Amino acid sequence: MRSVITLAKSLTALAALVLLASCAETPSTPTTSGGSSPGSGKIVTATPEETFECNDDLILPDHQPEECRKPEPLEPVVQKPLEPPKPDPIVGTYKVYPKYTKRGEILIFRIYPNNTAIEWRNLQYSWRHEGDLYHFSFSNEVNRGWSHSYSFEVLHQSIKGEPDLIAKRSPENIMTEFEAIKVSDDPDHLFDLFAIGLIRTGLFGCVNEGRKEDIIAASPDDLFDRRFSTLAECEATCPKAIKLLQDYWDENGWQLGEITCPQDRR
């Protein structure tokens, strides 16, 4: 019996030693937070990250966490439309005052941005810009019925009270020397400038060249080179013009036929 008790005590003591050894081999490691250093003895239990519910109806956008805030929309990039290139300053409608004669006639010159120009009676020119001068060319290939081609130079200036264009005399054609005043920057500008002569065969009267009406030259007399700012001025000259025209045709042995003034046909 004594031997049994002694064995039981021995087993109990052995179990206690095993338990102590087990605790010594696996010491507990505390979890630290809030700036506590390991081994300080302060044990803090870690918690999972707090989750938020993104609810615009319950929480104002300014009080929601960054994860819930919607990115601000980017402002659309507005591209300004490209402005069309400005036309050359020479482009426009001009009243031309020829210098090759003292008769005081006025012609019309229309200069277009596509490097073409139209003189009265629809004579067409081409032009180009070089330095301070503009070079105008007249070609009989474009203007059928004319026997020669020529070119001349034009100076464009913007001096108040002075002509806008000054054309130098061309060696091939003395009629290219002129001064011009700009009427409008629009080469198709319409205004009143009347001329008198044959409108078409057998019909004599006044046309408004400033509004692109055509006229046929009937005589070299200065009356047919004059221009009038009003229709009344033009028609008042009609009887004298008819008389001069009739005399001119009679001297050359031609038959003009009966012609009347516009006011006589009304």
Domain ranges of the chain: 86-189, 190-266
User: Across the chain, what does the average pLDDT equal?
Assistant: 77
Segment 60-84, tens digit of pLDDT:
666 667 767 677 778 888 888 888 8
Q: In CATH, what number does 86-189 get?
A: 2.40.128
Which tokens hold the place of 27?
């010491």
pLDDT above 90 coverage of the chain, percent = 27
Q: Which residue from 131, 128, 124, 87 is spatially nearest to 109, judged by alpha carbons? A: 124
- For 235, the enclosing helix (H) or strand (E) is helix 231-251
- For 3, the enclosing helix (H) or strand (E) is helix 2-25
Task: Spell out the residues 6+ positions from residue 69 whose beta carbon is closer than 8 angstroms to its own.
Answer: 61
CA 69 from chain centre, in angstroms, equals 44
Q: What is the DSSP string of 146-159?
A: ----EEEEEEE---
Segment 41-60, tens digit of pLDDT:
444 444 555 555 666 555 56
Q: Is the separation of the CB atoms in 197 and 215 below 8 Å?
A: yes
Segment 196-250, tens digit of pLDDT:
877 776 677 888 989 988 777 544 455 566 788 899 998 888 888 878 877 877 8
